[in-house]
């Protein structure tokens, strides 16, 4: 008796512990695939394919497709729908612990796509940024508030650590919003699609990345306080003056370049993370 994936799809309900909200709006699905524009010569990685809504368009592109899905109850559905395609590979793994560099073939950078669970989206983005030399671009469905933080510019309330670290590695672009009704079940928040394109060469390089990250974390640890207060254990008044940074300013006023320059000055002075 063959496996009825259509019946299994109807029976499978979204699970809160996996942060599942399945995309069901075909016009949105088509727009996502059109934004990615996968090509036969490329390797695409889809994180959290769910029941395969976006997977359908990706697999028909002729690209080499790897999908990473933690929910084992979805594996029979995905294998029934796409398993006969020799270009399709399912990885039963937690994306937060997955070594994406293992999927790189012939030095061809990966293209990453995902309707990311809201409860792990930020740590997952940080995990993927660690593979930035191996990634051509990333297209994600995220909570709209997270997308606003990713694209935020200095001086805005949304600008923070996520903005700085993502923009250090990537060019970030918000593409379009997705209403709650596009999902089953509908989430209580608005969603949006974002594109992150890692820089081929970083515009400015942190000499000690861990130190750079620690300084950014410290600077934004208490947003209402001045840099003099949040970075008192890191940066001296003389160093602020040398950098041309007002210590009475707040972290949200500094550019990515200013944060990197600050961290590099500290590194040169022998400070370590």
Q: Express each pLDDT in 218-256 by its tens digit.
A: 999 998 999 999 999 999 999 999 999 999 999 999 999
179 and 126 assigned to the same domain: yes
58 & 159 share domain: yes
40: exposed, middle or buried (C-beta count within 10 Å: 0-12, 13-18, 19+)? exposed
CA 80 – CA 1 distance, rounded (Å)? 13
Looking at the structure, tell me whether residues 155 and 263 fall in a common domain. Answer: no
Question: Quick check: is 203 in a domain?
Answer: no
- 60 and 174 co-located in one domain: yes
For β-strands 135-143 and 110-115, DSSP reports them as: parallel
Nearest alpha-carbon partner for 56 in 28, 78, 86, 89: 78
Could you give the number of structural domains in the chain?
2
CATH number of the domain that 84 lies in?
Answer: 3.40.50.150
Please choose, from the candidates 216, 218, 243, the residue with its C-alpha nearest in 3D space to the C-alpha of residue 232. 218
Are residues 59 and 111 located together in one domain of the fold?
yes
**Which residues constitute the domain of residue 229?**
209-268
257 and 145 in a common domain = no
Query: Which residues of the chain are modeled with pLDDT < 50?
Result: 1, 3-4, 7-9, 11-12, 14-19
Residue 171 phi/psi, 5-degree rounding, is -90, 125
Q: Are residues 109 and 64 in the same domain?
A: yes
Q: What is the pTM of this model?
A: 0.90
Nearest to 165 by CA among 271, 101, 259, 267: 259
CB 184 within 8 A of CB 196: no
- Of 179, 198, 217, at which residue does a domain stop? 198
Within-domain flag for 273: no
Same domain, 156 and 236: no
Interatomic CA distance for residues 199 and 179, integer angstroms: 30
Q: Give CA–CA dist 163/147, Å, rounded.
A: 9
Tens-digit pLDDT profile for residues 185-217: 898 899 999 999 999 999 999 999 999 999 999
SS3 of 63, please?
A: coil
Domain ends where: 141, 176, 198?
A: 198
Residue 204 lies in a domain: no
């Amino acid at each position: 008796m063959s496996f009825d994936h259509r019946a299994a799809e109807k029976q499978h309900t979204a699970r809160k512990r996996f942060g599942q909200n399945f995309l069901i709006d075909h016009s949105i699905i088509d727009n996502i695939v059109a934004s990615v524009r996968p090509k036969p010569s490329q390797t695409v990685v889809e994180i959290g394919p769910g029941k395969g809504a976006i997977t359908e368009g990706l697999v028909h592109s002729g690209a080499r497709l790897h999908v990473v899905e933690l929910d084992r109850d979805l594996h029979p559905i995905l294998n029934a729908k796409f398993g006969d395609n020799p270009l399709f590979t399912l990885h039963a793994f937690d994306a937060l612990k997955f070594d994406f560099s293992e999927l790189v073939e012939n030095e061809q950078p990966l293209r990453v796509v995902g309707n990311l669970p809201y409860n792990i989206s930020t740590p997952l983005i940080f995990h993927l940024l660690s593979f930035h030399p191996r990634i051509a671009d990333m297209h994600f469905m995220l909570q709209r508030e997270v997308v606003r933080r990713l694209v935020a510019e200095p001086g805005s309330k949304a600008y923070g650590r996520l903005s700085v670290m993502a923009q250090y590695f990537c060019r970030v672009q918000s593409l379009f919003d997705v209403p709650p009704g596009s999902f089953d079940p509908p989430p209580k928040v608005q969603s949006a699609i974002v594109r992150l394109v890692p820089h081929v060469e970083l515009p400015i390089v942190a000499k000690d990345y861990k130190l750079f990250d620690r300084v950014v974390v410290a600077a934004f640890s208490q947003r209402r306080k001045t840099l003099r207060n949040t970075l008192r254990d890191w940066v001296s008044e003389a160093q602020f003056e040398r950098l041309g940074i007002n210590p009475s300013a707040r972290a949200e006023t500094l550019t990515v370049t200013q944060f990197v320059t600050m961290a590099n000055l500290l590194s040169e002075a022998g400070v370590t993370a």
